[in-house]
Amino acid sequence: MRYGPMWSDKTSWLIKQFGKVADTLAFKPDIDTRYTRKPVLRTHDGKSVPAVMVPIDQPEKIFEAVKRKRGVIKRVLIDETNFFSGGLVKVVRNLIGMGIDVYTAGLILDTDLQDFGPTRKLTRMADEVVESFARCDFMFLTGRCGRRARFNYFKAKKDTQIVVGADELYGVACEDHYQALHFKTGSQKQWWSRIKKLVGANHQKSDWSWFRRLKLPSKKRRPLKFSFDRWPRIEVVADSMRVGKTTAARALGIELKKLGLPVRVSLEDWSNNPYLEKSYLDSSEWILLSQEWFAKKKFEQIKRGEKEAIFIQDVSPEMDFAYALTNVLMGRMSKEHFKDYFKFYSSHKWENLPAPDVLVYLTISDEALVKRALESVRDLEKIDPSYFLLMRAVNRTWLADSDHMTVVNIDTDDLDFSKEGPARKALAGQVLKKLHDLGWKWDNSFTAEMKRQDWFAMVAI
């Protein structure tokens, strides 16, 4: 038995088995017509051997076909086991009972990481099980990831488990980039489970029930509707501190200005926080005061916003909330002080403020995050790698429930937005493309008087 994601050479492995024994019969589901409609096992690179097409809900036809050639067939190959119904397990068991060697290949998980067809049950029957891997096709701004991939992801909206397609619909990802692609559609429950593992014994069981009931501010702000009567709003957030949010916000503003666009960048302004330095002494009260200052400041910045230019906000209020939550989970802020912070945060009328048109979310791997944190530590900071890793999980938790925001995911492991070059241009290009998709695009009905529309459309198409 061989299982793994798409493009992990499972079919190639079956084809190799075909040539080793003369009396071999191969089978495949009749809905698998991705590379050919002919009755063959065919790989994406064109290799093929003859095969019998079988309806996915009638796997017993495999047994019937072999039974008709009883005494002749010595080996059976079955491709794409994930598409067949559960009856395939009985078919394979009966074939083995006839003394036939059976080789099967398929996906064990679907794009939502749920068991796919009878593949897992077949692994339990096999004498030998081999997991295959592909290469992650997640695209950085500067190139492809290429690390070992074991998960498939779907590139569009999928309403059923079985959707036949090739690379126009599916991709393959390593664990980090599968998470990066799915945290927005994942559940807060899954992220809370990860948080609990990261935190360990910092909290009593009773605390966890309280945390799980905590209503994160993911949807407090009202979503904006597209309009040519205003400029778009952009916010830049990240997995954690030290990922490059402020640098990316500045770089994005510079690149958009180069295109002739009016831009206003609103920075986090952490250096003016009068409580920040003392908060690094692990004083719960000073952390509370520091976090309240950030919440108030963020409310004022977003409320002020900008009507006559593209508005870019460095760090969203939701991410500020994530900082506070990380501190209480780490035990740096007391639960009582966090409750005070929660009341203070909630007292602001966030529902009167707009959510961004585009949220730029910067992701980073464990190794790169810890390395960058150690390299860029400020004089007043103490670095605890677990603090940064926990903060990433907390940020992805609130983001998992923010389906009213349009997100641009950018992996920053190998990027440096502080220098002019391809990374900056690619960042601006991705944001412009997303804004173009939202509606800021060329329209033949524009008139000469519509300056804002024309100006933006020229760089968005």
Give the residue numbers annotated as catalytic, written as ranges.
80
Q: With DSSP H G I counted as helix, E B as strand and the rest as coil, what are the percentages for the chain, rounded to 5?
A: 45, 15, 40
Nearest to 197 by CA among 328, 401, 389: 389
Strands 75-78 and 24-29: parallel
Strand, helix or coil at 28? strand
Report the distance separating Cα 312 and Cα 305, nearest Å: 9
End-to-end CA distance of the chain: 49
List the structure tokens of 196. 């609990």
List the structure tokens of 366. 């464990």
Nearest to 123 by CA among 270, 274, 4: 4
Residue 109 is classified by DSSP as B
Strand, helix or coil at 114? coil
Report the distance separating Cα 254 and Cα 341, nearest Å: 35
Residue 313 is classified by DSSP as E
What's the per-residue H, E or C state across 324-365? HHHHHHCCCCCHHHHHHHHHHHHHCCHHHCECCCEEEEEECC
Residue with tokens 């952390």: 287
Phi-psi group of 9: left, alpha or beta (phi > 0 → left; psi -120 to 50 → alpha; rest → beta): left
Nearest to 294 by CA among 274, 310, 278, 265: 274
Q: CA 171 from chain center: how many Å?
A: 12
> Are the C-beta atoms of 152 and 107 separated by less than 8 Å?
yes
